[in-house]
Amino acid sequence: MALDTARLLITCPDQRGIVAAVTGFIAENNGNVLELDQHTDPDHGEFFMRLEIELGGFGLDRSTFASAWQSVAERFDMRWRVCWSNETKKMAVLASKASHCVTDLLWRAKTGELRVEVPCVISNHPHLAGVAESFDVPFHHFAVTPQTKAEQEQQIRDVLQRVGADFIVLARYMQVLSPEFVQAYPERIINIHHSFLPAFAGASPYQQAYERGVKIIGATSHYVTDQLDQGPIIAQSTLPVGHRDTVDDLIRKGRDLERVVLATAVRLHTEDKTLVSQNKTVVFD
Amino acid sequence: MALDTARLLITCPDQRGIVAAVTGFIAENNGNVLELDQHTDPDHGEFFMRLEIELGGFGLDRSTFASAWQSVAERFDMRWRVCWSNETKKMAVLASKASHCVTDLLWRAKTGELRVEVPCVISNHPHLAGVAESFDVPFHHFAVTPQTKAEQEQQIRDVLQRVGADFIVLARYMQVLSPEFVQAYPERIINIHHSFLPAFAGASPYQQAYERGVKIIGATSHYVTDQLDQGPIIAQSTLPVGHRDTVDDLIRKGRDLERVVLATAVRLHTEDKTLVSQNKTVVFD
Amino acid sequence: MALDTARLLITCPDQRGIVAAVTGFIAENNGNVLELDQHTDPDHGEFFMRLEIELGGFGLDRSTFASAWQSVAERFDMRWRVCWSNETKKMAVLASKASHCVTDLLWRAKTGELRVEVPCVISNHPHLAGVAESFDVPFHHFAVTPQTKAEQEQQIRDVLQRVGADFIVLARYMQVLSPEFVQAYPERIINIHHSFLPAFAGASPYQQAYERGVKIIGATSHYVTDQLDQGPIIAQSTLPVGHRDTVDDLIRKGRDLERVVLATAVRLHTEDKTLVSQNKTVVFD
Amino acid sequence: MALDTARLLITCPDQRGIVAAVTGFIAENNGNVLELDQHTDPDHGEFFMRLEIELGGFGLDRSTFASAWQSVAERFDMRWRVCWSNETKKMAVLASKASHCVTDLLWRAKTGELRVEVPCVISNHPHLAGVAESFDVPFHHFAVTPQTKAEQEQQIRDVLQRVGADFIVLARYMQVLSPEFVQAYPERIINIHHSFLPAFAGASPYQQAYERGVKIIGATSHYVTDQLDQGPIIAQSTLPVGHRDTVDDLIRKGRDLERVVLATAVRLHTEDKTLVSQNKTVVFD
């Protein structure tokens, strides 16, 4: 059984003494560091760190941490966040018709492999109502046309707000979100693209891959930004294909990739193991 | 020890009875089929086949095969070629400064892993003379500038013609060949591109990959066509990278990919296991 | 949409003329060969072949094939079988408590990715009743103790017989089947072992892998024989692990491997792409 | 260009405050921590850490470090070592007849990819003299028979001592070293075994793999201990094979695995990224 922890994530300009100052602060407050991971980006002089501190015995909690920590954070000009492993995140799932990613995520949530609560599945099609129901997750169907797009997004955002979604997973949701939507959830919307980005961005990537005659296909999970298929990549995976594979075979093989790559990205996000900078991710796993 | 064989490669419009007609022809001439591989492209109604026929006991040889075979080939409107495994192909290697692919190919040729003769290494830089010498392979240095490009290509082609090169490997040769050069060796020039094409075509693919923050890098070996980095793909491979990898790390890791992917493509070509159609390869391995 | 086909699988001593005789027979009966795959085992002089023949236009069907084919089969001393792609196989699933493989198989069957009918899920524990129910598959719970093992196996076999199971998948069924059971379904029971066999055969393979400190874990799907974990291997896959992975992490990562490897083996079996000889499989994929 | 660093590696019983004490010590001595990696083994309550400290500006050097550090090390009951990146390690290579691993290591050393000096190649056969010579590395041939084994080992150890070898790579050296030899170089002898250990330990692993009919082969690099093929694993890799692969094909494919896995292990050792405990490695990469 994993111990409950505080997860402290830090980004700041690199300089001497950061690690000593941070770990000294933890030690002064009687905290036990279970994991420490650190990285320096030599190109931009940027420092990244993630610590997991055992909650048992730690002298600070969510009501007292920020004020105690303030002086260290200011001294090093840090962007930082602290997350508490015993606060289960709420993951909203957006999907269209394809069931493989949704089914997989709901199964992982239900069995506890992913430590998340799923307050809703939202779709622009009715097809996945039965899947959501079989996992006892509320399902919302908001149809969309080019004319009703703004209105439909508002319906979605109303649900997200009402259920208190912490982050959103686009589990093969086949609509492009508006910039306003994306900006409301910075680094908190995770998409799965069914190709090895940046190859085959845009629509019908398996068809594109088939036509190009590649010998490997891939899948990419990334944070969503204003730029379609251009956000920071969290996880990727590939597998071999051959001349015997039709587009349908690529789609079938790709489903196995997509499920695992998306689940990997969601796990990393849920465990607070990602930091974003320069449109890239640092993944402390 | 592998048996000596005739390798018969066929492309034609799909219809009933092709396999029966071909294998019937082989049987009538007392040939033993050791390998038969067949594929039909449903999109274009195109039929592909490769047979390996044991030379021992076979009633035909290179002087008699074509005329005997003619009527079958015409009946099905075939494009075809026959290759004899005991005719060692001559592989010319073009390179620039990087030694990893050249060293690897020469080592595989020397140990007999690749059944090829290497009549020359040609480079636009002098750096690899020692490598070629250590494998007893003649080395030719033809410097090139934008002004002397046509002349330098002619020097290369003179050597290729003189040594009787059957095919050409661009082992990290950093020059773009002219359309005339490429058309003189159709489906007989193999390049290694240091990315997972079509991602990061063109120059500095590892730098591009680093800037995009991908979690996987790749390498691609393909036949060279007029369109830069657009030719039919023969082999690809990938491996995982992370935020700790600098551009230099990607280059280092990529070298291991490039050597193996290029050697794989060369082996497939040498063993007559590739057929090209619609700018794709059928690989019978 | 895939065409309906007859799949003809052949094993016999190698000799000249087999391919010509078989494809000649197909051509005489106006059959169109869509796929032909062939292999010769040089160590044992054994010949293997698989053909897919388009049903449309083919002059033979399941009532007439055997008698027409008889003389070819006898001439070459063949073991052979013919399968008809439009006869959906019945796949019985045996499981214990773990839900990942069962859920995955039922999902693939329901969506049509696997062309099978699932007439039953049978378990020695009640835990998976809800999973089976959500896919509308009958669930049978037969508890077992060392004392009641023979009786419980009989209960299982009664169900299998009643539903007409064509083959059986052990989807993490944690009981060893008796030799009598196994012999009743030769080459028709598929197991998933949660290690890279032959490493870590027997119980608790992830614990064994953890203790040995391997850097890669695997999963193996094989046909079940009398010898525990020794049957012919159909499919295997691996993925990297590290010193940070606990036994629980290995189990979690392994689940993703197990599902895909088992589904791959089931797909190959369902599509009649496996031939067994010398305790190995020939896989024509 | 990588900065010169001190690499500090620590193993000790886990307790609060270790990281703070160590990084505090570095900060007091004006050191800049470039990399810090840390791991706790929950089963054995063991703490592992690796730091890279920039040499520029650091107040300690190899003559003063140990005495300054002594009190911290004692306080936490540490086993520790410090390595200086600008001290090039001397890597002795032992081989037999196979050239692929030796050629690969010498190439990587020559091009600077591996930051090592190679003072000798030693073999029980004369075959690799030319390879060593082409890289300007002294070659020693000491033939061995069962009767002369002790004497031949002494000849090897004399050379190793004379050239001041820091560590030894068994690059497909087909002799078992005596326990006395192994104990003289604890955690400093690296072997490549041509299978996915613990599968197919001992002789002829590719033959064993072929007979078992596995669908994946592997290679394993490990530190050598008294127990044959049982030492702590540093790196492993695998690749797919099929029924068409003969034993010779497995050997050929395996060579590509072996070279890369061995080079990976050597790089990790050279960069002081491995810690051994409980017959396993912690690899901080």
pLDDT in tens, A59-80: 999 999 999 999 999 999 999 9
Tell me the shortest Cα–Cα distance from B242 to chain C, in angstroms: 14
- Closest CA relative to residue C245, chosen from C211, C273, C222, C221: C211
Q: What gap in Å lies between CA B121 and CA B131, rounded to an integer?
A: 10
Residue among D99, D256, D260 whose CB faces B111 most closely = D99
Identify the band that residue D3 occupies on the pLDDT scale cut at 50, 70 and 90: confident
Contact in structure between A142 and A131 (CB atoms under 8 Å): no
Sheet holding C46-54: strands in order across? B79-84, B5-13, B46-54, B32-41, C32-41, C46-54, C5-13, C79-84
8 Å CB contact between D253 and D217:
yes
Q: Quick one: pLDDT at residue A2? A: 73
Q: Alpha helix locations (H) across chain B?
A: 18-28, 65-75, 100-110, 129-134, 149-163, 179-184, 205-212, 247-270
- Tokens 């054995």 identify what position? D44
Q: Are residues A64 and A179 in the same domain?
A: no
pLDDT in the model for residue D43: 85
Q: How many CB pairs under 8 A join A and D?
A: 54
Quick check: B103 and D107 CB within 8 A?
Answer: yes
Same domain, B133 and B250: yes
* Given B229, B245, B249, B272, the catalytic residue: B229
CB–CB contacts below 8 A, C to D: 83
Boundary-marking domain end, from C64, C84, C104: C84
Last residue of a domain, one of B84, B118, B143: B84
Same domain? C155 vs C40: no
Percent of chain A's residues with pLDDT above 90: 95
Pair of tokens at residue D214? 């596995």
Q: For the domain that residue B218 is a member of, what is the CATH number?
A: 3.40.50.170
Query: A97 and A54, same structural domain?
Result: no
Question: CB distance from A24 to chain D under 8 Å?
Answer: yes
Contact A131, A102 (CB under 8 A): yes
- Which residues constitute the domain of residue D58? 5-84
Segment A235-262 mean pLDDT: 96
Strand C121-123 and strand C139-141: the pairing is parallel
Q: Are residues D248 and D224 in the same domain?
A: yes
A113 touches chain C (CB under 8 A): yes
Distance in Å, alpha carbon of A64 to nearest chain C alpha carbon: 31
> What are the residue ranges in chain B where pLDDT is below 70?
1
Task: Report the alpha-carbon distance of residue C193 to residue C217 in Å, rounded.
Answer: 12
CATH number of domain containing B73: 3.30.70.260
pLDDT of A1 above 70: no
pLDDT score, position B187 = 97
Largest CA distance in chain C: 63
Question: Which tens digits make up the pLDDT trace of D255-275?
Answer: 999 999 999 999 999 999 999
D72 and D140 part of one domain? no
With beta carbons under 8 A apart, name residues in chain A contacting D33: 16, 19-20, 38
Q: Which residues of A touch D13 (CB under 8 A)?
A: none
Same domain? For B110 and B40 the reply is no
Q: CB-based contact (8 Å) between D195 and chain C?
A: no
The residue out of C23, C58, C84 marking a domain boundary is: C84
Are residues A37 and A157 located together in one domain of the fold? no
Q: Which residues numbered 30-49 in D keep a CB inside 8 Å of some CB on A?
A: 30-40
Predicted complex ipTM exceeds 0.85: yes
Backbone angles phi, psi at A8, to 5 degrees: -110, 120
- Do C234 and C142 lie in a common domain? yes
Contacts of D100 in chain B (CB under 8 A): 107, 111
- In this prediction, residue B2 carries a pLDDT of 73
Are residues C129 and C160 both part of a single domain? yes
- Which one, of B234, B213, B237, lies nearest residue B222 by Cα? B234
Q: What is the pLDDT of residue B82?
A: 98
pLDDT computed for residue A47 by the predictor: 96
pLDDT above 80 (res D93): yes
- From the list D229, D245, D249, D256, the catalytic residue is D229
Cβ contacts of D27 on chain A, cutoff 8 Å: 16-17, 19-21
Number of domains composing chain A: 2
Q: Do D283 and C214 touch (CB under 8 A)?
A: no
Q: What is the C-alpha to C-alpha distance for residues D236 and D219, in angstroms, rounded to an integer?
A: 6
Tokens, residue C139: 């669930």
Which residues in chain C come in under a pLDDT of 70? 1
Q: What is the pLDDT of residue A209?
A: 96
Between positions 215 and 244 of B, the ones with CB within 8 A of D are 244
pLDDT band at D220 (very low <50, low <70, confident <90, very high): very high
Q: Is B249 on the interface with D (CB under 8 A)?
A: no
Averaged pLDDT, A190-218 = 96
Q: Do D19 and A17 touch (CB under 8 A)?
A: no
- The three-state secondary structure class of D184 is helix
D229 is annotated as an active-site residue: yes
Say yes or no for a CB contact (<8 Å) between B16 and C38: no
Q: Which two tokens mark D92?
A: 């002795």
A-chain CB neighbours of B280 within 8 Å are 212-213, 243
D154 touches chain A (CB under 8 A): no
Nearest to B224 by CA among B193, B258, B195, B187: B187
Residue to substitute from C37, C41, C215, interface D, most D β-carbons within 10 A: C215
Are residue B213 and residue B140 in the same domain, yes or no?
yes
Please judge whether A40 and D20 are an interchain contact, meaning their C-beta atoms are less than 8 angstroms apart.
no
Choice among C104, C229, C245, C272 that is catalytic: C229
Check pLDDT > 90 for residue D42: no
B280 touches chain A (CB under 8 A): yes
In this prediction, residue A42 has a pLDDT band, given cuts at 50, 70 and 90, of confident
- Selecting from D213, D218, D236 the residue whose C-beta is nearest the C-beta of C280 gives D213
The neighbour count for residue B36, using CB atoms within 10 Å, is 24
- The pLDDT assigned to A196 comes to 94
- Whole-prediction pTM value? 0.96
The DSSP result for B197-232, as a single string, is TTTT-SS-HHHHHHHHT-SEEEEEEEE--SSTT-SP
Of the candidates A108, A64, A42, A65, the residue with the CA atom closest to the CA atom of residue A271: A108
Residue A179 tokens, joined: 């910039």
D169-192, pLDDT tens digit by residue?
A: 999 999 999 999 999 999 999 999
Output the pLDDT for position B88.
Answer: 96
Predicted confidence at residue C1, as pLDDT, reads 58
Contacts of C among chains (3+ CB pairs under 8 A)? A, B, D
Give me B142's structure tokens: 């033809």
Are B160 and B20 in a shared domain?
no
Question: What is residue B147's DSSP assignment?
Answer: G
pLDDT band with cut points at 50, 70 and 90 for residue A244: very high
